[in-house]
Amino acid sequence: MIPTSLRRQLLVAAATAAALTVSACGHTGSDDTTGTAPPAALASAVPGARSVPVPTSPPVTPPSELPAAYRDVDRSSPDAVAAAVTELWYGWDTTRDSGPYDAKLRALPLLDPATVTDLVTHPPISGPGADWLALAAAGAIAHVSSAPAHEAGAPADTDLRAYRLREVIQEFTGNPPPPRTQRIVSVVLRRTFDGWRAESVVAR
């Protein structure tokens, strides 16, 4: 027969064990605020952990068509395409453009697909510079003319590629009107299924 004192000790031990079991089970619910931290909290707590950057600006959306004045460009003529591309490329409008890059985008429908991809996926990573800021302060708009320029020893045209030099002049309106600019621009063109397209536009 179990002595009374020993029986009392066994009953106390059993009651204590039951209470501990109930307490442990009570902390497994979904409203537990002391359980595993959320992933974001863990990331911030782990030394060296980096969060995924959130884009701060939308991706560039290429224009689907040319400005109205250039929709009838003769795509069978490398000269006509080179003239149109350079006029669009340097047709800066500081009243609506954030930099020269915006003017380049207006020429996309006349550019080679690979050039379009490169231009769209590599937008400027810095500001347009002091010259642009001075034009913007005057509210400058460029009116562009493009004429053939000639160079001895230029590569001859082939069935698939053509090379053109253009003299590009920007006449500005603004307050006060900025001085005009003049530059020689090299344009390399490639014949595609729908006519000539510019592969590169480089000022000399």
- Convert the pLDDT of each residue in 99-110 to its tens digit: 999 999 999 999
Rounded-to-integer distance, Cα 109 and Cα 185, Å: 19
pLDDT for 186 equals 97
Rounded to a whole number of angstroms, the distance between the first and last alpha carbons of the chain is: 111
Q: Which stretches of 48-194 are assigned E, i.e. beta strand?
A: 141-149, 161-173, 181-192
Span 137-148, average pLDDT: 97
Question: Residue 62 pLDDT more than 90?
Answer: no
Residue type at 181?
T
Span 2-25, average pLDDT: 43
Its pTM stands at 0.70
Domain residue spans in the chain?
A: 68-151+158-203
**Eight-class DSSP state of 98:** S
Locate 24 and state its tokens.
């442990």
Rounded-to-integer distance, Cα 74 and Cα 72, Å: 6
Residue type at 157?
D
Structural fold of domain 68-151+158-203:
Nuclear Transport Factor 2; Chain: A, (3.10.450)
Q: Cα-Cα-Cα-Cα dihedral of 113, 114, 120, 126, to 10°?
A: -150
